Amino acid sequence: MKAGTLLLRPGEPDLLRFATAGSVDDGKSTLIGRLLHDANALYEDHIEALKKKASRGAGTMDFALITDGLKAEREQGITIDVAYRYFSAPKRRFIIADTPGHEQYTRNMATGASTADVAVVLVDARLGVLTQSKRHGFIASLLGVPHLVVAVNKMDMVDYEQEVFERIRSEYLEFTARLGLPDVTFIPVSALLGDNVVSRSENMPWYHGVPLLTYLENVSITGDRNLIDLRFPVQRVVRPNQDFRGYSGQIASGVIRPGDEVVAVSSGRRSRVTRIVTYNGDLDYAFAPLSVTLCLADDIDVSRGDMLAHANNVPRVEREIDAMLIWLGDRPLEVGRSYLVKHTTNVVKASCAQIMYRVDPNTLHRGDATQLGMNDIGRVRLTLFRPLHLDQYERNRATGSFVLIDPLTNLTVGAAMVSDRLRAPDAVPAASEQPVSGDLTWHGSRVEAVERARLLHQRPVTVWLTGLSASGKSTIAFELERQLVTTGHACFVLDGDNIRHGLSRDLGFSPQERTENIRRIAEVAHLFNEAGLIVITAFISPYAQDRALARQVIGPERFVETYLAVDVGTCEQRDPKGLYAKARKGKIADFTGISAPYEAPESPALALDTSKRSVDECVREILQVLGDHLDRA
């Protein structure tokens, strides 16, 4: 079943959330009021009230009064709080967040856009692109809003001139080109008179696009949702009687079905889903953002704050994280000060270890900073007092975001998005992770992963080929490399024999030396991934613990474990290097499959039987798994 099909029930229109933003007096509230009025989404008493006020005033209805609900807003003529409105059209249901335009209330724009599928940024045609216009585009990019609409408003006040629209479009496109926004659409409108809001305007025949409502009804958002990575933060354990034990919560991302193997991330214990229970009965499948209760086959230790994930796709578990932060508090963010981090169902004490830089939303330039004031945006490093289960925000908006809370006032003072992976002390088992010297400091790059992805047209990943000697690892690895390079992707093979000519020439094949060899390879693969490259490794890597270590070093989101599942008899028949023959004669000690064990992966991302499939078929299957990394550039 396709992912898009999962999101819709038969006969049910889907839901789209969009936020409006822009500068003061650019007509956000008027646009929303006009949209509701022309779409027949206003009650009769609302319309009558507007008509009465119009008859006492200028004679035209002031649609801004529909959303400017606060007395202070009406008195000042600005939007202060985030005003939400709901309405339905034939194809969709909508939730609108009308966010403030004044710079003082930029933090409220972040609140409204944080859950939006589309951000509508208004630009006054008379004034052109202002700092706030850029600021709101930058915040929409930062929050990962997948679709941006730039509505050039008040076209009636510039005589519907195409030249004005094109000049604004050109200037804003030049700015958004640096943001990496995947979809930017420009629509010329007059919110006051209704041009191109619900119906196409006859005053602008030079515009060949669709009106705003038509765009909102038809923009595709099913592909924006993460249905790949199952993340189920456990909210509470349900035990109404001795015969029932379930784990309740809201699915943050992904799809779950009965029979799926899941792992409790905190303990690493595995089990299988037996039931998906809801108030309306059991489900055959469930997906984000449904709230459900999961029953497991085994009585493993799971409690509030834990997270269930598919066994071969787990989040990062880290105590030190980098994040882009929008500061919302009156008191500035300061290094060394303690805060509370609210992430899914967890609340953890944390401290600010470093402010790496502050971003000027107008120029996108980065500058040094010792603190962040209200509405400032910057990259920070936080140290958590207890590890959290995180994803990179770019991949998962639900588990890649959190808020900071002032422990003294209990006010939310920051909204943060987890940046690309850092080397974290708790991400790898301590015994093999700690450097000999305790006086070392990790220096992070100022180049974002998304910038490298944009440059190389790919997202870095490590294809970890594991299997017995002669199972086909090197053959498949180099053919995969050739096909990737042919299609324009930057990649490199780390081959077992080649590595032992240099990097690991000092190591033998004892279990301890194999572990050290895999650790070194994982570190190299991690660095290559940080540089944006796709890495293909070809190592027997016989021990499950070593591969788990490699997964931690490289990062679970970048680790594609691929098992070449061929039995030792077939490999021994191949024996291209004569190694099995030597091992049988006792000339090679600790030879995997003969005199040393091989622990096959229990849940690899991909298992390929090279005795039944050609090299091209194997490479084709790996490329299909990598499609997400190659297509999302």
* Distance between CA atoms of residues 94 and 113, nearest Å: 14
* Distance between CA atoms of residues 411 and 413, nearest Å: 6
pLDDT tens for 52-78 read 766 666 556 666 666 655 444 445 554
* pLDDT number for residue 248: 95
Helix or strand holding residue 291 (H, E): strand 291-296
Which residues, other chains included, contact 117 with Cβ-Cβ below 8 Å and sequence gap of 6+?
A: 16, 17, 18, 145, 146, 147, 219, 221, 224
* pLDDT number for residue 276: 94
* pLDDT number for residue 333: 92
Which residues, other chains included, contact 47 with Cβ-Cβ below 8 Å and sequence gap of 6+?
A: 37
Residue 550 identity (one-letter amino acid): A
Nearest to 556 by CA among 391, 398, 405, 441: 391
Residue 586 identity (one-letter amino acid): G
Sign, CA dihedral 563-568-573-579, equals positive
Helix axes 106-113, 131-142, angle to 10 degrees: 40
Whole-prediction pTM: 0.59
* pLDDT number for residue 343: 92
Q: Give the C-alpha distances (Å, rounded to integers) separating 352 from 110, 319, 333, 384, 422.
A: 21, 12, 8, 9, 15
Find out whether 234 and 303 touch, Cβ atoms under 8 Å: yes
Find out whether 253 and 231 touch, Cβ atoms under 8 Å: yes
> Is 354 strand, coil or helix?
strand
* pLDDT number for residue 107: 65
Chain centre to alpha carbon of residue 452: 16
In the predicted model, residues of the chain with pLDDT beneath 70 are: 1-13, 50-51, 53-83, 100-108, 180, 420-442, 444, 586, 589, 595, 631-633
Residue 236 identity (one-letter amino acid): R
Find out whether 393 and 402 touch, Cβ atoms under 8 Å: no
Nearest to 88 by CA among 35, 10, 27: 35
The residues facing 264 across adjacent strands are 308
